Amino acid sequence: MAAAPPSCCLVAFPPCAKDGLVVFGKNSARPRDEVQEVVYFPAADHEPESKVECTYISIDQVPKTHAIVLSRPAWLWGAEMGANEHGVCIANEAVNAREPAAETEALLGMDLVRLGLERGSTAKEALNVIVALLEEHGQGGSYYEDAGSCHSFQSAYLIVDRQEAWVLETVGKYWAAEKVTEGVRCICNQLSVTTKIDAEHPELRSYAQSQGWWTGEDEFNFSEVFSPADDHLHCCAGKDSLEKQEESITVQTMIDILRDKASGVCVDSETFLTTASAVSVLPQSRSSPCIHYFTGTPDPSRSIFKPFIFVDDVKLVPKTQSPCFGDDDPAKKEPRFQEKPDRRHELYKAHEWARVVIASGQEQGRKLRKTMRELEKQGLEAMEEILASPGPLDPAEVGDLFYDCVDTEIKFFK
């Protein structure tokens, strides 16, 4: 069984998080050379009986889908993490379980992230969408753009809105979910739901018994029953870091934790790299907008977190979108992945230079990193002003927000 990539998703609720804000963060650990793009899709109405083409299979479309912003591996339809116009955020983790994941092509965990965001206006609604689709279509297929072998995994999700979060962990079509409304919670590449189960597949326990994994006599512990025998639950390093902050967690706290290589939260190994990162701030007061920060580039310690706010006229950002190969895309043709096209977008290419300069450890690299942090700080301070402002948000002021930040970053690198 291939090791699941060591990604990390985190959420902090008030009063651990400051100022009545729910703070959500995710590092996406993926194969080192994989490109992630940041893409926006407006809300849309769909024809009756129309289909939606996911990464490997087509499923029935719904009459209306919400506006979404996604950070996703450029070759697939779904997403590693994203948010919708209603303040719902979802991130996905590949996990290993006692039962091997199906290699048969079905929905990917990442497809279910996008489907949950498109169809759910609260965290609980998104959870219901995901488990219904899981029951109907199953999960399976390769998580990587690799013709050599199929890397399939089970999936875990952190689904968050302004009021609550749900940790949803799945094994095939079976699942368990835990509701979180306070403190901090982390998910990584292991099952973590134990005995606090707030919703579950109706046949979950009988299935575990039929496999001989649970006697029915002890208390039912989901991760103990379904984890591989050699998997010893370790606490996510990000959760440790968040808990040390007590009642002072901010956007900056979350960004700093996602940048921490010493703890292992920020992955930079021979096989895997944190290829993209995201942080979202969800004010519990509905009069304030949710703000979502994306890097769109690898290694958060050498990247800039750029803000995005949902308004009616969001300006599209082609510079964070990878080239489109249509039906000729090797990910769409069978046998799949016979070649790997160049999927780098304009921001990714500009940022490659910055990564090399910073990695050199020279004076130029130190100056560059300092200037990048100053650029980021200006964005963070401007967003703090928006959150502190008593008046309503002017959509005209923020429709170009992400576009302008990306444009400034590229000009700066050039």
Residues forming the active site: 9
Interstrand relation of 174-180 and 58-60 (parallel, antiparallel or unpaired): unpaired
What is the DSSP secondary structure assignment for residue 219, as one 8-state letter?
Answer: P
CA 380 to CA 374: how far, in whole Å?
A: 10
How far apart CA 389 and CA 99 sit, in angstroms, is: 51
Give CA separation, 228 vs 4, 19, 80, 149, 168, in Å.
Answer: 12, 40, 24, 21, 18
CB 23 within 8 A of CB 249: yes
Cα–Cα nearest to 414, from 322, 321, 298, 319: 319
Residue 308 has φ and ψ, to the nearest 5°, of -135, 135
**Coil, strand or helix at 12:** strand
3-state secondary structure of 351: helix
Residue that the structure tokens 């072998």 belong to: 149
* 214 neighbors 224 (Cβ within 8 angstroms): no
Eight-class DSSP state of 6: -
**How far apart, in whole angstroms, are the C-alpha atoms of residue 92 and residue 9?**
8
Tell the residue number behind the tokens 């990584």, with chain if given.
Answer: 188
